Amino acid sequence: MKNLKRILSATTAFLLVFSVTACKNKKKDNSAGDVSSVIEESSEAENTLENKTLYWLSDFDLNPQENELRSAPLALFEDTYGSEIVYIHTEEKDKYAKLISMIQAGEQVDMFPYDIKSLPQNSLNGLFQPLDKHYEVLEMENEMWGDMLPLVEQLKYKDGHYVIPYGMSNPNLLTYSKTVIQSLELEDPYELYTQGKWTWDKFLELMKAFVEKSPVKYGKYGITGDLGKGIIQSVGEPAVLNDNGSFSSNINSPMLEKAENFLAEIKSADLYTDTRSAYFPKKKNVLFFAGSDWSLAETNAKYPEEEYMIVPFPKPDEASEHSSGYDLNAIMLVANSQNGDAVAAYIKCERIARTTAEYQAIVKKNAIAENKTATGVLTGVIKENQYDALQTYLNPTVIKPVIDFGYGMGSVMYDTDTYNYDTRGVINNLNDALLNYSGNATDWQTLKEKLAPAIDTEISAYN
């Protein structure tokens, strides 16, 4: 606790410096500026790390590029601990092969970016080590970790905590036009959500009403985008259950069956279309675009005459809470590293930055700033009400995170490269086969009979 108070003291000080410089840099919304003067003011900087150089293997650099400011976590880490991070570049597709070759060659590498392949696949392969021995440095008992602790425990594997998320991103969301909702005199999804009434039944009702009332003359649908994943995860249950590294199939879950049948109902009612659009469709012939917040800024810029809003996926009518899948923001401690305390210290700095109100106010200011080309053309913008809503959805105490270890069990379970029904990953087909491959998967029972043996086989390999 004493260490954290010292760091927070430095955080408050450097934010005073940062508030002057932040508006000059729109490229990175977490830039901290030059904080050298802050550390001079804070004489109690931590200098307890034995090795002050960390080696970071990734396809992106944590250090600032030319004409960029340091991120707040990096500034805290460097100036509080007197440490540095050395970047080792690799292409994203080659990063695991590079990591393996460096470990086998005895080369130093300490940190590696978390992704869905990290656990259990590559932790089982011996590429990473748990962070439990470094909990004192992480200060896991501090309240800044409070809302993340249930998530940390969900990720427990073989009595170890390999993944300590310092944040989350990319929740399952629905984007819709409030302008259209009001013009058709439909109930507003966000208002339904805030009232606790945003359910599958209301979702279905709104899509049908849109198709009936919309002035678009042809090709009207209720929704496009990544519908299947959002509905499957909205039941709050994964396809693969984890009990401290002992895995089991959940494919016979009544709630998963309910979700699959709901998708089939949407498909049979001709309310879904697969447009593969990266943002809200130009024809505006759908009520909802399913995805996450990554498309929102571009959608706002393309249709300035419309007022858009984001809302979580609806919950099953009998559910007490909303659930969603997320991307986890985390860093893995590499198996051969002797610098676990230093890696833990950097992870702690990431968490401090995300839980410091003054810093988050600056992040928000940058996030809602307009992005324009050199000629003044608007390319993206997030509205303040959208940003505020998103922060609520990223709170794991508000929307239940769904952690499905099936995504991290290799390409047989989850594959991002193939679009063939017979060769796609099990999770891929679980998510959308009834929507996009209905000629092969005519109903849930047929699909389940195909997927169940493959799930059992893969799980047995990990158990």
% of the chain beyond a pLDDT of 70: 89
Query: Is the pLDDT at 23 greater than 80, yes or no?
Result: no
For residue 11, what pLDDT band results from cuts at 50, 70 and 90?
A: very low
Q: What is the pLDDT of residue 3?
A: 56
Q: What is the pLDDT of residue 41?
A: 38
Q: Are 164 and 221 in contact (CB under 8 A)?
A: no
Q: What is the pLDDT of residue 10?
A: 47
Q: What is the pLDDT of residue 6?
A: 52
Q: What is the pLDDT of residue 190?
A: 98
Provide the Cα torsion 95, 149, 142, 351; round to 10°: 30
Maximal CA-CA distance, the chain: 69
Tens of pLDDT, residue by residue over 31-55, are 444 433 333 333 344 556 776 899 9
Q: Are 232 and 261 in contact (CB under 8 A)?
A: no
User: 256-270, 340-354, 409-423, 424-438: lowest mean pLDDT where?
Assistant: 409-423
Q: What is the pLDDT of residue 7?
A: 53
pTM reported for the whole predicted model: 0.89
% of the chain beyond a pLDDT of 90: 77
Query: Is the pLDDT at 386 greater than 50, yes or no?
Result: yes
Q: What is the pLDDT of residue 217?
A: 87
∠203-239-246 over CA atoms, to 5°?
A: 150
Determine how many CB atoms are found less than 10 A away from the CB of residue 240: 24
Residues paired with 273 in a beta bridge: 224
Q: What is the pLDDT of residue 419?
A: 84
Q: What number is the average pLDDT over the span 215-225? A: 93
Q: What number is the average pLDDT over the span 455-461? A: 95
Strands 128-129 and 331-334: antiparallel
Which of the pair, 273 or 18, is modelled with greater confidence? 273
Tens of pLDDT, residue by residue over 273-286, are 998 888 888 888 99
Q: What number is the average pLDDT over the span 249-262? A: 98
Q: What is the pLDDT of residue 284?
A: 85
Q: How many residues does the chain have?
A: 463
Q: What is the pLDDT of residue 389?
A: 97
Q: What number is the average pLDDT over the span 12-26? A: 37
Euclidean distance between the first and the last CA atom of the chain, given in angstroms as a whole number: 38
Q: What is the pLDDT of residue 43?
A: 33
Tens of pLDDT, residue by residue over 112-143, are 999 999 999 998 889 999 999 999 999 999 99
Judging by beta carbons within 10 Å of its beta carbon (0-12, 13-18, 19+), is residue 365 exposed, middle or buried?
A: middle
pLDDT averaged over the chain? 89
Tens of pLDDT, residue by residue over 160-209, are 999 999 999 999 999 999 999 999 999 999 999 999 999 999 999 999 99
| Cα–chain center distance at 187 | 29
* CB-based contacts of 294, cutoff 8 Å, min separation 6: 170
Q: What is the pLDDT of residue 409?
A: 94
User: 1-5, 47-51, 352-356, 413-417: lowest mean pLDDT where?
Assistant: 1-5
Q: What is the pLDDT of residue 48?
A: 67
Q: What number is the average pLDDT over the span 279-298? A: 91
